[in-house]
Amino acid sequence: MRKQSGFSLIELVVAMAVLALIMGAMVHLFGGSVVSLHTGSKQEVVYEEARLVMNELKTTLRYAERDSIEPEKPTAATETFFYKGDMFDRHMAMGKGKNKAYEITVKWKDDTKKQLEITRKNITDGDTKVTVFPQDIKNSAFTYDDKFNGEFPIVAETVTLNNGDNVVLYQITLPVQYVLNGKPQLQTLTTKVVPSKDEEEDSWEMKVYKSYYTLRNIDEKMAAGIALTSGEQAEYKKFIAYKDYSTHPSYRIAHNDSIREYLVNEKFDGTWPMKNINGVDLYIQPYCDIKSTPTTSNIFVYGSTIIKDTSTNNWNINYIYDTDAKSWYTGEKIMIANKSWATVKGEMQSKGWVKVK
């Protein structure tokens, strides 16, 4: 009978070596998968960060007032980019959404020019949001020269449309970098946008409101020592050129009658826009209580059967346009002279004013 024997020492050593090789390969494969998964997660986070910033810039620039954009044509050497506008803020509850005014400032966070700082000031609600991109400076892929002159991510060019009109097209480029499997990777998001043509899209009510708002805002900025944009400077020069201060010392930008006279003659060809509301032909006009509450938040639009109000007796109004609700309201007449928008709106509610259908 043949005697059974176990593994020899050589066979045992060979088996252990083969097992070690197999286990080593599995550990390497599994470890590589974990690293890839972890790095992929970082890639996803970086991409989502860039996408959100891109969407913020693209949307707000799309609805920006073109005259507010400063500089109008940013280049790679630009360091600060500013614009303002307003857009409809959607709400889950039907009817609660409203237009909200905003200001956007895009600039380098510091002299290294590796991160952007985007400041969104909500004028309507009074809050401010600051976003830094990218949040982790290691993910920055902005390009530089030897003097650390970063290339600004928003540049502009003039494009001629098929109808012959020229428009300024803005290109936004957001590069980010990350490490994948030990190798640096670069990803770039790029989009192009043209601001809305406010003059064509706005209603007469909003054109009247915005034309008054522009001048009132210029006066507020000047009083606060805030620099005007090139568009605002041009508008102010037009206003002061309308009448000679030496012969008309009372004619100034901080005066309701002066602003109204300038607008009706220079912006609306001598006649306020007219609209039929509830079968009544009304001249659409702006008002602001500049004497006691000289702020842009007190500007409102009303309708009058009289083309020019020149006396206190003609400030009794029963048609007012709410620029937030984008609707006309009517009711018992209200004396609006020297009253803030909040006061007038309170009287509209107490007297049971109703929306015009």
The domain spans of the chain are: 43-196, 202-355
Beta-strand pair 116-122/183-193: unpaired
The helix/strand/coil state of 309 is coil
Beta-strand pair 128-133/116-122: antiparallel
Residues 228-276 have pLDDT tens digits of 887 788 888 888 888 776 666 666 787 888 899 899 888 888 889 988 8
Residues 200-209 have pLDDT tens digits of 456 889 889 9
Q: Strand 183-193's sheet: what is its strand order?
A: 154-160, 166-180, 183-193
Residues 66-114 have pLDDT tens digits of 878 999 899 999 999 999 988 776 544 444 556 788 999 999 999 889 9
Which residue matches tokens 């209200």? 334
Residue 92 to residue 199: CA distance in whole angstroms: 30
Question: Which helix (H) or strand (E) segment is 42 a member of?
Answer: helix 9-62
- Mean pLDDT of the chain, nearest integer: 81
Q: Strand 316-322's sheet: what is its strand order?
A: 274-277, 280-287, 300-304, 316-322, 327-335, 354-355
Strands annotated E in the chain: 80-89, 98-108, 116-122, 128-133, 154-160, 166-180, 183-193, 274-277, 280-287, 300-304, 316-322, 327-335, 354-355
Does domain 202-355 match CATH 1.10.3470? Answer: no
